[in-house]
Amino acid sequence: MKKLVKMADLIRVVEISKRFGDIVALDDVSLNIDSGEIVAVLGENGSGKSTLAKILYGLYTPDKGYIEIDGKQHIFSSPAEAKRYGIVMVSQRPQLIDELTVLENISIFLNKSANRIYKNVNVLLREFDIDIDAASPVYVLSYTEKQYVEVIKALLAKPRLMIVDEATTYLPQPIKVKLFDMMKKIIVANGSILFITHKISEALEFSTRIIVLRKGRIAGEFIGSDVSLDELRRVMFGETVATVQATGQLQDKIALGNSAILRADSVSVIDEYGKRAVEDISLDVKRGEIVGVVGVAGNGQREFCEAIIGLRKVERGRILFEDKDITNTPPSKRVAMGLYYIPEDPFKDGVFLNLTIAENIKIFSQRKITKDVIQDIINKLNIIPAKPGIKVHKLSGGNVQKVVLSRILINIPRIIVAYNPTRMLDEYSSKFVISVLTKFASLGGSILLFSEDLDEALAMSDKIAVMVRGRIIGMYSRGSVNRSELEKVMTLHD
């Protein structure tokens, strides 16, 4: 490995440790962030990377250690304090107030009047060829447009360090590249970017230096151009990760049924702002079939999914399950019929946070299960820590999602509706989840997969529907379309 060239330290993290009860999130972590570089912090679920980001941004305080800026020691007690020292964060979920305008949101973040910043906002919008009206309310923007606003908001703060916490993970490649091009204005100004990710390919593509966290400790540090994907994978997981074939076309897959187990018939849905989010969608999922629904976030996928599982009212049209009209059937009865849901946000929709891992698994089991079975499920899903008695609220986001996924292993659904089921998972866990889902389909189960990960959707799906502005504008069978073609369809109309 090439020797790292030492530049002037912008920020130093010194011997940081953080515990949550008996869980060690960070253990004596020290690192330097130098001026003018993009540093990726790479790690599996529960490795401590998000905890590190939150300490730097003042969302958590460390139990031990400190942050050094300009030779002075700091422990930030809030994001406002971190911002005063030039640290900002762009996260996966836009931190914007939907009811306010773009300009008002930026004004609040910068603590400056809208009149003072109006010109600067529009200069950046024009510079990056972003077609957004600063006077528009945020709720009319797509997910991509909201992320553009987040980056512009951060750039106008003129930070010395921008923390990018999984903010680009499931954006189409052209938009991902554009966002990084925007953020590189900070590098030109001799600032730095700390890029938090569990995607090895992203770390290699966008960073100049890669730091691998494993079980709360630094496991390795590399120059981005001087390390391979396989080496990073080995350091990240501590062993060679067995390749799990991510395909929905397994050899023992039974023939697809002719009749639909789930059907959306001319479905339209209104969002919480009275805007039509889903417009006249018809879609079938047959027995043993995986149907993927893709699109840039914010194009009606969430509202359509919520209508299917019974969390959102259908304005017009019908939803049929095995030829029975379930349009107005409560979610609990849909589950009893065999329609299961895997949510994107397990904290909100998936688990009982104050119960243990074992208690959550038991609640969702339709049969009595032993301690050995529970431990086996925990081990198979690689839940960290692998302790049935741990309260779920003490787990990292990715590990909470694995608790949700345990219901696939203990029950026999007729169909699974999965919304970004691997969004919060690292590579090893994602491959395992994909293998579980595709095995389920190979044995005759059906899956309606909403995914912003095009590689995942292409690998798993028998058919792929593209959603843009609430409509399905294309339907493709397996092998008839590639990633770049899907991205063109998604972004041309978005």
**pLDDT, tens digit (0-9, with 9 covering 90-100), for 434-464:** 888 888 899 899 999 999 888 899 999 999 9
pLDDT of residue 188: 82
DSSP 63-107: SEEEEEETTEEE--SSHHHHHHTTEEEEESS----TTSBHHHHHH
Strands 324-325 and 316-321, sheet pairing = antiparallel
**What per-residue confidence (pLDDT) applies to 240?**
44
Average pLDDT of the chain, as a whole number: 88
C-beta atoms surrounding 295 within 10 Å:
31
Interval 386-405: pLDDT, tens: 899 999 988 877 788 889 88
Whole-number Cα distances in Å, 121 to 139, 313, 354: 18, 38, 43
Tell the residue number behind the tokens 């960070």, with chain if given: 26
Confidence of residue 248 (pLDDT cuts 50, 70, 90): very low
Instruction: Tell me the pairing of strands 446-450 and 290-294.
Output: parallel
Say what the pLDDT of residue 239 is: 58
pTM listed for this prediction: 0.74
- Over 90: is that where the pLDDT of 238 sits? no
In order of start, what are the domains of the chain with their CATH numbers? 9-86+158-237 (3.40.50.300), 260-338+413-493 (3.40.50.300)
In this structure, how many other beta carbons lie within 10 angstroms of the beta carbon of residue 203? Answer: 28
Per DSSP, the chain holds a count of helices (H) and strands (E) of 17, 20
